[in-house]
């Protein structure tokens, strides 16, 4: 058990060190408000990263997440200005968002599993298509919150125990994903496939079903992330999420999920999301030019994956040692 | 109830118009250990895969399990009926725990939306591990276990599934001899529990140790089923190959052993091997043997530059060199033919031409640096002719050739570089007996032309058939050196196991007639 | 006599058919002006796609390729706007592009991290570097001569950039098909371990692959900056996924080991004819993207169906 959590522990240590340094640079960092801001600002990233964790564990990847989320945002945005100002309508929209996400994710899953097209190619294709449709429909125009029903605006401002409902939503999704991965048969099958696909087939795991599931779940979370995104920005911006898919992948990888599949935890991904969030926030607080953010993030990704790989190689070398007579 | 647990009849399988199996039958009694034997390509694996539900047999096949006619459409059907297959490469999940690996797919574990019952999993896993007398932490990820331990996990899984029949495909291939002993023990235990075992192997000696009956296949056809008592090794070999085969020591070419071409002094690599010193002369075949895991392959790969960094000295023709990469090894006239042909030796999706030319390609360029395709094709055709690669189709992808012909392609690749030193690791693994002797002859012939050849092999008859001198390794060190005149299977074994040669050599020197007898591992 | 249709030939026919269809249905498609337009637009994308293809053949991917281009484009722009001579600026721009490629290649080969992760990291890094240098502004101020590269004609007929593209397409084709390095690229893409064990210096080959891709990216950047007369952070960024798509559509195996220049060139042409023709048909730009994505997936589905039918009983006898 100890060794399994080693990766997560080292990310946690990095986060702690970074936090200490940042709080010296700017005492604002450690205030509760700031921390809640960081969390709230990364809810969308975090929700998507949960789904991406599962996709990457099975050895796949989904670069269409930002596009799917945007598509759902746009549809929900259009509906928001039409629906009556009633709590039931809100609930209905949530259901629609999730269903739409599941359908779009399911298409990816179908193409990856049944047609056996590599996940990166499939999702590149669907991403390009979805983005095209979204821009065609919206003309790239920003949709403002002025016409949104009041109940929706109220919803997005709810705080429970002083914490925004969006943050609660994120934790709810994290717990759901953790439970799924840890305690359901589907979750174990996801890990099993990532561990050894051939063996999974031999013990009768339905590979297609699992693959379709992870992509559909990714889509489902994209639906939820869309609601969170609209709530957070109180607007629908067809270009607002462009490039987010790479941050999502970065967060998952930083969190210790192996890009070749087979390994990954919810805790790790949460830490990965936090790390990205803290870096961004810290750079702002440290009054470092906003343009340097990406440099830092890029460097951190490179260092993290390099370090991880060196560790892996060392472990392999250790495994292949043989006993020598002295 | 019939005394037979499993009856398979009229099993045929056609691939691409070729009959891989032709009306084969297999009958296994309850609680018996049944050996399935045959040369490579005889159809053992195909039969097993049909039993496992990986392949579907041709029309007309009949399948009875526990007296009832059954159909096995996909792998899970076999598992649910109580047939477990332990493949050579195992079916484990390195990232999951011992307990999960044992229970995965079992009914505590089959509805996707169900919650995993961890308590149940722990209970089942612990119970079957106890039955096997195997003490291990249930939470250890399987990737941390040795191959032998992983195999036990597979057997435990079979027990957890209440299997009535366990098929073991070459289970001893990567075990040390003490681990093999333990496995025999476990198999005995399974037998006592009334579980039948089909044991696939081509190591005759161990088959006689464990099995009750033999079913022999040859060229996809059923030869017969025999009781152990009515068999001996020689008879079995005759049945397997349909004729008498011997490894002849091809000493016909009288050749001279020349100057030292390779000298290794105090070569060490931490965790691999230590203080290795030896010499190789022109025209000499040096055999290196020892148990799997004794550091033979690691040593060869260090000399070839893929296992760096090492300490010590390597001299080629008296000149000290440091070989840090295969590229340098090639420049120094060293060729290395790895055991793992499909991963390390060949590029299966590429043509025979491209595989043969790759290591010498730089020399086939014009002054402008362009490859001369004509020369490349000529080169390939020359070797196809010279060492008889079949089919003689240079454009064909190497992956479509048989094991023996694939090995010939690798050998061609290296002969094309005109090496001074040829290191060949398990030269005939996965190759049938006919092709084996051909390769042995080729190695002898190369030596007679002045090349220094190092043959690494676990098969003692092979080592005895081709070598002039034999080094025996044990735990990363050289345990001893034997001249071919004094070497016997017994004293090699003693060195490999005990690190010492006993004073009295028993037996004649020339017990080199039967293949596979006393192959060690 | 039977003429075997390779993947590439089929693509060529598709490109041709599209050209004919567009000539018929799109008004003005065949006009000199429009043909010219296409010829000016194709080279920058084509060069990036070729670079991407070479990387994909080794089984890798270069997500940083467009930011590599942008970084060298921005450097050239900055140097020129600060009064450095054109040639020196171009040279420095190419060197900076090569440095980006070296960074990718170095981490991939020396440390062994998978290319998708490395280039994901460097992509964000290069973008950050550009942002920090330019503060998000666009930079212009090129010499007249420089503007000729992307806008000028050779012999008053063929765009200069097209000549550059054809030159590099031929060079790439020769490098891949006829040189030791090219052969090694395919061999490594099929099986890198066996390649190493055959005496190939795999690290050096792969390092050169990333250098070559970044070199093509820098050339593409020169054409782009010259054509747009400006350079900023998103220079060519829309080409990233398109170049992967073009390589894959062109028959390049995403797992490595196979890919041909001619296939990629046909794929680039298909994209160009489509986007241009649909544009003339007044189909919105955005829908063009949708159609391209659909084509990519459709081609792969067809490929799948084809191999599925062909493979039905082509399993090997295993022993």
pLDDT in tens, chain C (319 residues): 445 667 788 889 989 999 999 999 988 888 888 888 889 999 999 999 999 999 999 999 999 999 999 999 999 999 998 888 989 999 999 999 999 999 999 999 998 888 988 998 899 899 999 998 998 888 888 888 888 887 877 777 788 899 999 999 999 999 999 999 999 999 999 999 999 999 999 999 999 999 999 999 999 999 999 998 888 888 888 888 789 889 988 989 888 899 999 999 999 999 999 888 988 888 887 787 788 788 878 877 877 777 766 654 343 333 3
Residue B511 has pLDDT above 80, yes or no: no
Strand, helix or coil at B21? strand
Contact yes or no for B93 and A185 at CB 8 A: no
Contact yes or no for C296 and A259 at CB 8 A: no
Query: Does residue B489 sit at the C interface (CB-CB below 8 Å)?
Result: no
Residue B389 lies in a domain: no
Contact yes or no for C190 and B348 at CB 8 A: yes
Residue B269 lies in a domain: yes
Residue C156 lies in a domain: yes
Residue B388 lies in a domain: no
Alpha-carbon separation of residue B481 from A192, B477, C61, C271, C295 (angstroms): 47, 11, 51, 68, 67
pLDDT of C318 reads: 34
pLDDT of B520 reads: 42
8 A C-beta contact, residue A222 and residue A101? yes
Residue A224 CB partners (closer than 8 Å, separation 6+): A47, A94, A97, A98, A101, A169, A173
Write the DSSP assignment of C10-52 as a string of letters. HHHHHHHHHHHHHHHHSTTTTSHHHHHHHHHHHHHHHHHHHHH
* Mean pLDDT score, A286-291: 78
Q: Last residue of a domain, which of B206, B241, B276?
A: B241
* Residue B90 sits in the same domain as residue B114: yes
pLDDT of B41 reads: 65
Residue B32 lies in a domain: yes
Buried b (16+ CB within 10 A) or exposed e, C10-49: bbbebbeebbeebeeebeebeeeebeebbbbbbbbbbbbb
Residue C152 burial by Cβ neighbours in a 10 Å radius (0-12, 13-18, 19+): middle
Beta strands B285-290 and B469-474 are parallel
Contact yes or no for A118 and C293 at CB 8 A: no
Residues 122..151 of B with a Cβ closer than 8 Å to A: which?
139, 141
Residue C140 CB partners (closer than 8 Å, separation 6+): C77, C81, C229, C230, C231
Q: Where are the domains of chain A?
A: 3-316
- Smallest Cβ–Cβ distance between A310 and the set C111, C123, C286 belongs to C111
Which token pair is B381? 């055709």
8 A C-beta contact, residue B345 and residue C149? no
Q: Which fold has domain A3-316?
A: ABC transporter involved in vitamin B12 uptake, BtuC (1.10.3470)
- A159 forms beta bridges with A164
The CATH code of the domain that includes B278 is 3.40.50.300
Select from A198, A325, A326 the residue whose CB has the most chain B CBs within 10 Å, as the one to mutate to test that interface. A325
Selected residue with higher pLDDT from B446 and B238: B446
A140 to chain C: closest CA residue: C286
ipTM: 0.84
Confidence of residue A213 (pLDDT cuts 50, 70, 90): very high
> Which of A44-53, A303-312, B223-232 has the lowest average pLDDT?
A303-312
| Chain B touching partners, 3 or more CB pairs below 8 A | A, C
pLDDT of C55 reads: 97
Contact yes or no for A322 and B113 at CB 8 A: no
* Residue B462 sits in the same domain as residue B323: yes
Q: Last residue of a domain, which of B224, B241, B258?
A: B241
Residue B38 lies in a domain: yes
* Residue B69 sits in the same domain as residue B50: yes
- Smallest Cβ–Cβ distance between B365 and the set C174, C180, C196 belongs to C180
- Euclidean distance between CA atoms A322 and B328, whole angstroms: 26
Percentage of chain B exceeding pLDDT 90: 21
- Euclidean distance between CA atoms B59 and B21, whole angstroms: 12
- pLDDT tens across B3-47, in order? 788 888 888 888 766 677 888 888 898 889 998 887 766 788 888
Query: Can you give the residue range of the structural domain that contains C175?
Result: 7-303
* Mean pLDDT score, A255-270: 85
| Chain C touching partners, 3 or more CB pairs below 8 A | A, B
8 A C-beta contact, residue B4 and residue B24? no
8 A C-beta contact, residue C260 and residue C12? no
Beta strands B196-200 and B165-169 are parallel
Give how far C116 is from chain A: nearest CA, Å: 9
* Residue B428 sits in the same domain as residue B475: yes
Residue C319 lies in a domain: no
- Smallest Cβ–Cβ distance between C199 and the set B15, B16, B329 belongs to B329
Contact yes or no for C296 and A121 at CB 8 A: yes
* Residue B306 sits in the same domain as residue B433: yes
Residue C272 lies in a domain: yes
pLDDT of B504 reads: 39
Give how far C250 is from chain A: nearest CA, Å: 13
pLDDT of B255 reads: 65
Residue B148 lies in a domain: yes
For chain C, how many structural domains are there in total? 1
Contact yes or no for B92 and A187 at CB 8 A: no
* Residue B179 sits in the same domain as residue B325: no
- Euclidean distance between CA atoms A254 and A52, whole angstroms: 12
Alpha-carbon separation of residue C311 from A54, B88, C19, C251, C303 (angstroms): 32, 26, 33, 18, 12
Residues of B in contact with C195 (CB under 8 A): 347, 358
Q: Last residue of a domain, which of B212, B241, B270?
A: B241
Contact yes or no for B74 and A204 at CB 8 A: yes
Q: Under an 8 Å CB criterion, which residues of A touch B?
A: 1, 3-4, 182-189, 191-192, 194-196, 198-205, 209, 213, 262-263, 317-318, 320-325
* Residue B153 sits in the same domain as residue B269: no
Query: Can you give the residue range of the structural domain that contains B106?
Result: 4-241
Residue B86 lies in a domain: yes
Contact yes or no for B413 and C198 at CB 8 A: yes
Residue B337 burial by Cβ neighbours in a 10 Å radius (0-12, 13-18, 19+): buried
Strand, helix or coil at B302? helix
pLDDT of C88 reads: 93
Beta strands B83-86 and A235-236 are unpaired
C179 to chain B: closest CA residue: B370
- pLDDT tens across C57-87, in order? 999 999 999 999 999 999 999 999 888 898 9
Asked whether the bond before B309 is cis by omega within 30 degrees of 0, the reply is: yes
Confidence of residue A306 (pLDDT cuts 50, 70, 90): confident
Contact yes or no for B93 and A199 at CB 8 A: yes
- pLDDT tens across C186-236, in order? 999 999 999 999 999 999 999 999 999 999 999 999 999 999 888 888 888
Residues of B in contact with C190 (CB under 8 A): 347-350
Query: Does residue A315 sit at the C interface (CB-CB below 8 Å)?
Result: no
| Chain A touching partners, 3 or more CB pairs below 8 A | B, C
- pLDDT tens across B444-469, in order? 889 988 899 999 987 778 888 889 89
Residue C308 lies in a domain: no
Q: HSE of B47 in the Cβ direction (CA atoms, 13 Å)?
A: 37
* Residue B214 sits in the same domain as residue B314: no
* Mean pLDDT score, B424-435: 79
Q: What is the dihedral of CA C211, C177, C222, C241, to 10 degrees?
A: -80
* Mean pLDDT score, B240-264: 68
The CATH code of the domain that includes C167 is 1.10.3470.10
pLDDT of B507 reads: 34
For chain B, how many structural domains are there in total? 2
Residue B387 lies in a domain: no
pLDDT of C17 reads: 92
Query: Does residue B75 sit at the A interface (CB-CB below 8 Å)?
Result: yes
Residue B269 has pLDDT above 60, yes or no: yes
- Euclidean distance between CA atoms A146 and A167, whole angstroms: 24
Residue C81 lies in a domain: yes
* Mean pLDDT score, B234-252: 64
Contact yes or no for B295 and A324 at CB 8 A: yes
Contact yes or no for B45 and C318 at CB 8 A: yes
- Smallest Cβ–Cβ distance between B344 and the set C174, C197, C314 belongs to C197
Helix (H) or strand (E) holding B415: helix B403-416
Tracing tokens 């009926």 back to the chain, one arrives at: B81
Give how far B346 is from chain C: nearest CA, Å: 6
Residue B357 has pLDDT above 60, yes or no: yes
* Residue B251 sits in the same domain as residue B236: no
pLDDT of A5 reads: 63
Compute and round to an integer the Cα radius of gyration of chain C. 20
Selected residue with higher pLDDT from B492 and B264: B264
State the first-to-last Cα distance of chain B, in angstroms, to the nearest integer.
40
Contact yes or no for B359 and C190 at CB 8 A: no
Residue C69 lies in a domain: yes
- Smallest Cβ–Cβ distance between C136 and the set A63, A134, A291 belongs to A291
């Amino acid at each position: 058990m100890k060794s399994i959590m080693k990766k997560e522990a080292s990310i946690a240590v990095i986060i702690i060190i970074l936090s200490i340094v940042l709080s010296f640079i700017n005492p604002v960092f450690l205030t509760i408000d700031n921390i809640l801001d960081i969390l709230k600002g990364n809810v969308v990233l975090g929700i998507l990263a949960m789904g991406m964790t599962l996709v990457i564990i099975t050895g796949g990847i989904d670069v269409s997440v930002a596009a799917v989320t945007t598509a759902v945002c746009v549809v929900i945005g259009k509906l928001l200005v039409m629906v009556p100002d009633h709590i039931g309508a809100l609930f209905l929209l949530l259901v629609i968002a999730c269903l739409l996400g599941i359908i779009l994710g399911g298409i990816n899953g179908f193409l990856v599993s049944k047609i056996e097209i590599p996940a990166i190619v499939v999702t590149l294709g669907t991403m390009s298509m979805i983005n095209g449709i979204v821009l065609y429909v919206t003309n790239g125009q920003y949709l403002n919150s002025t016409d949104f029903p009041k109940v929706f605006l109220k919803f997005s401002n709810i705080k429970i125990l002083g914490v925004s409902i969006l943050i609660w939503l994120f934790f709810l999704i994290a717990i759901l994903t953790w439970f799924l991965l840890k305690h359901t048969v589907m979750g174990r099958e996801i890990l099993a496939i990532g561990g050894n696909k051939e063996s999974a087939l031999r013990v009768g795991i339905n590979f297609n079903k699992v693959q379709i599931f992870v992509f559909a779940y990714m889509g489902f979370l994209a639906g939820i992330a869309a609601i969170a995104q609209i709530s957070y920005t109180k607007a629908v911006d067809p270009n607002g999420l462009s490039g987010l898919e790479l941050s999502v992948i970065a967060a998952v990888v930083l969190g210790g999920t192996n890009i070749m599949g087979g390994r990954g935890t919810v805790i790790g991904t949460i830490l990965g999301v936090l790390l990205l969030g803290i870096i961004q926030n810290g750079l702002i607080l440290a009054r470092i030019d906003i343009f340097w953010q990406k440099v830092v993030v890029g460097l951190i990704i490179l260092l993290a994956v390099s370090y991880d790989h060196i560790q892996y190689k060392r472990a392999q070398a250790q495994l292949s040692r043989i006993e020598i007579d002295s | 109830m019939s005394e037979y647990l499993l009856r398979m009849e009229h099993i045929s399988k056609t691939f691409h118009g070729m009959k891989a199996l032709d009306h084969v039958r297999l009958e296994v009694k309850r609680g018996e250990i049944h050996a399935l034997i045959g040369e490579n390509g005889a159809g053992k694996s195909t039969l097993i895969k049909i039993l496992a539900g990986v392949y579907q047999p041709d029309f007309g096949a009949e399948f009875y399990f526990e007296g009832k006619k059954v159909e096995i459409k996909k792998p899970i059907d076999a598992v649910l009926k109580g047939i477990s297959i332990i493949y050579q490469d195992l079916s484990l999940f390195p990232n999951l725990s011992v307990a999960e690996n044992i229970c995965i797919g079992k009914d505590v574990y089959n509805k996707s939306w169900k919650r995993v019952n961890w308590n149940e999993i722990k209970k089942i896993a612990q119970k079957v591990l106890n039955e096997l007398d195997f003490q291990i932490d249930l939470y250890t990820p399987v990737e941390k276990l040795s191959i032998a331990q992983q195999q036990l996990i597979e057997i435990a899984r079979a027990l957890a599934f209440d299997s009535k029949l366990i098929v073991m495909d070459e289970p001893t291939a990567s075990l040390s001899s003490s681990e093999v002993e333990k496995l025999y023990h476990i198999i005995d235990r399974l037998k006592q529990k009334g579980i039948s075992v089909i044991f696939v192997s081509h190591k005759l000696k161990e088959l006689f140790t464990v099995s009750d009956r033999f079913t022999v296949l040859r060229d996809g056809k059923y030869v017969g089923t025999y009781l152990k008592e009515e068999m001996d090794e020689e008879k079995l070999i005759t049945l397997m190959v349909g004729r008498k085969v011997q490894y002849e020591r091809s000493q016909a070419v009288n050749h001279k052993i020349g100057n030292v071409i390779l000298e290794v002094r105090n070569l060490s690599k931490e965790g691999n091997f230590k203080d290795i010193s030896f010499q190789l002369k022109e025209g000499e075949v040096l055999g290196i043997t020892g148990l799997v895991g004794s550091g033979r392959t690691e040593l060869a790969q260090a000399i070839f530059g893929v296992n760096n960094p090492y300490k010590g000295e390597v001299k080629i023709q008296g000149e000290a060199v440091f070989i840090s990469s295969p590229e340098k090894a090639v420049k120094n006239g060293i060729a290395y033919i790895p055991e793992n042909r499909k991963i390390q030796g060949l590029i299966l999706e590429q043509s025979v031409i491209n595989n043969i030319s790759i290591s010498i390609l730089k020399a086939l360029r014009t002054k402008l640096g362009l490859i001369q395709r004509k020369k490349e094709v000529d080169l390939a055709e020359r070797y196809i002719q010279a060492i008889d690669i079949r089919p003689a189709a240079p454009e064909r992808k190497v992956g479509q050739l048989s094991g023996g012909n694939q090995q010939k392609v690798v050998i061609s690749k290296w002969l094309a570089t005109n090496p001074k030193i040829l290191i060949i690791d398990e030269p005939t693994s996965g190759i049938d007996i006919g092709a084996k002797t051909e390769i042995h002859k080729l190695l002898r012939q190369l030596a007679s032309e002045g090349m220094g050849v190092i043959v690494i092999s676990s098969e003692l008859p092979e080592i005895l058939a081709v070598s002039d001198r034999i080094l025996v390794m044990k735990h990363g060190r050289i345990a001893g050196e034997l001249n071919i005149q004094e070497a016997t299977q017994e004293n090699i074994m003693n060195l490999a196991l005990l690190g010492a040669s006993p004073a009295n050599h028993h037996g004649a020197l020339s017990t080199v007639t039967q293949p596979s007898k006393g192959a060690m591992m | 006599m039977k003429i075997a249709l390779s993947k590439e030939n089929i693509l060529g026919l598709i490109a041709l058919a599209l050209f004919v269809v567009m000539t018929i249905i799109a008004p003005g498609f065949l006009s000199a002006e429009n043909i010219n337009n296409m010829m000016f637009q194709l080279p920058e994308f084509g060069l990036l796609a070729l670079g991407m293809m070479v990387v994909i053949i080794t089984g890798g991917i270069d997500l940083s390729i467009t930011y590599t281009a942008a970084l060298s484009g921005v450097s050239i722009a900055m140097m020129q706007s600060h009064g450095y001579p054109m040639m020196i600026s171009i040279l420095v721009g190419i060197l900076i592009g090569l440095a980006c490629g070296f960074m990718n290649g170095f981490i991939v080969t020396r440390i062994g991290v998978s290319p998708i992760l490395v280039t994901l990291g460097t992509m964000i890094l290069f973008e950050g570097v550009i942002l920090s240098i330019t503060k998000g502004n666009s930079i212009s101020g090129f010499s007249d001569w420089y503007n000729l590269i992307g806008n000028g004609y050779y012999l008053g007929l063929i765009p200069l950039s097209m000549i550059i593209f054809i030159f590099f397409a031929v060079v790439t084709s020769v490098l891949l098909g006829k040189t030791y390095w090219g052969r090694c690229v395919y061999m490594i893409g099929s099986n890198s371990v066996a390649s190493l064990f055959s005496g190939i210096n795999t690290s050096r080959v792969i390092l050169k692959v990333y250098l070559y891709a970044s070199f093509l990216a820098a050339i593409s950047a020169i054409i782009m900056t010259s054509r747009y007369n400006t350079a900023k952070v998103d220079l060519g960024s829309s080409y990233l996924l398109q170049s992967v798509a073009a390589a894959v559509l062109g028959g390049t195996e995403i797992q490595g080991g196979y890919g041909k220049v001619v296939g990629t060139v046909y794929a680039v042409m298909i994209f160009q004819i489509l986007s241009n023709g649909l544009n003339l048909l007044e189909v919105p730009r955005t829908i063009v993207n949708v159609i391209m994505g659909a084509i990519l997936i459709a081609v792969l589905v067809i490929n799948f169906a084809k191999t599925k039918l062909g493979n039905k009983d082509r399993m090997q006898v295993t022993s």
